[in-house]
Amino acid sequence: MTEAKNNTDGNPGSAIKNRLQKNWRTFRPWANKQNLDVWRLYHWDIPEYPFLVDVYKDHFRISDKSRPDFERDQEHLVELKQAIMELFSPPDENIHIVHRRPQTRSSKYGVQEDEDLTLEVSEGLLKFEVNLTRYVDTGLFMDHRNFRKWLMENSKGRQILNLFAYTGSLSVAAAKGGATVTHVDLSKTYIRWSQKNFALNGLDYTLHRFIEDNVLSFLRKSTPQKYDWIILDPPTFSNSKKMESDFDLQRDHVHLIFDCQKRLTPGGRVYFSGNKKGFKLDPSVAEAFEVTDMTQASIPKDFQGKKTQFFFQLDDRRTNV
């Protein structure tokens, strides 16, 4: 990819261009050293430019978080795209814009475009397929990067249950590290996508379990299977037609965590994460688990100071079941 060009324009209108150039020089050498094809270039750093910009190899994906009826924001979106063109010279077709509007209980993120633009990308020793055009999310959550690396280095011999497993990046990392994974997601599309990701990493997905099910009902089914670790990364809320009722993270996380506890081996562990702003862990959880706040350690360099995510390590206080 073309290196960022020198910007000698000192007028106030070049604020976004200056920030992109500065961030590129900060993060690009780091990303190269880490063998990262995917990383965040801009995260709403300037209040008047409410956008996210992610790099996917030689593609730029802009997430527009602006107000559609606010003319200034729309002008700034045009300015942002122009700055990317001037600094990095990508073909126009390599710049993708997705509009992220506040999600409500009655809204859903559906298909954005009919055509699929998929790429195979590297993250350290791991490989994943991403889709830059079809959905709001591409299939790879960059803010889980540190956890994926940690899982790959520490999962050997573990029985791991991955819930709300999406396209399987955490499942892949755990399996690559030597764990046996049970992968649960409600979407058949994401189950198949996960199996592709296993194959990309030279993993035989038939040695692991892939279950298409509602996580809430799955946890309540009678089974003797127990797990050393459970990965729990639920949505902030969900109103899928495949679920009996809607799910709200703040309201429902206690029941969800205690349902997970029933599936743990004695002294097992839950890795619980989410992205709800202002989330509060219910005090009852600390009575049943030793709680370690791993939020800061989980945030990658290109997300420092930018995310609303939380990440808790919950160690089961029970020594026998």
Residue 195's pLDDT is 98
Residue 302's pLDDT is 96
φ and ψ at 314, to 5 degrees? -115, 110
In tens digits, what is the pLDDT along the chain, a chain of 321 residues? 556 666 544 454 589 999 999 999 999 999 999 999 999 999 999 999 999 999 999 999 999 999 888 889 999 999 999 999 999 999 999 999 999 765 543 334 445 556 789 999 999 999 999 999 999 999 999 999 999 999 999 999 999 999 999 999 999 999 999 999 999 999 999 999 999 999 999 999 999 999 999 999 999 998 889 999 999 999 987 766 555 668 899 999 999 999 999 999 999 999 999 998 889 999 999 999 999 999 999 999 999 987 678 999 999 998 766
* Long-range pairs, 291-295, Cβ under 8 A, ≥24: none
User: Which domains does the chain carry?
Assistant: 12-99 (3.30.750.80), 141-316 (3.40.50.150)
Report the SS3 class of residue 150: helix
pTM above the 0.85 mark? yes
φ and ψ at 65, to 5 degrees? -105, 20
> β-pairing, 264-274 with 247-248?
unpaired
Output the furthest CA–CA distance in the chain (Å, rounded). 67
Query: CA 263 → CA 57, 218, 230, distances in Å?
Result: 40, 11, 8
The pair of structure tokens assigned to 183 is 């992968």
Q: How far apart are CA 108 and CA 209, in angstroms?
A: 28
Render 194-256 in DSSP notation, one character per residue: HHHHHHHTT--GGGSEEEES-HHHHHTS-----EEEEEE---SEE--TTSSS-EEHHHHHHHH
Say if CB 239 and CB 199 are below 8 A apart.
no
The pair of structure tokens assigned to 247 is 């799910």
Residue 223's pLDDT is 86
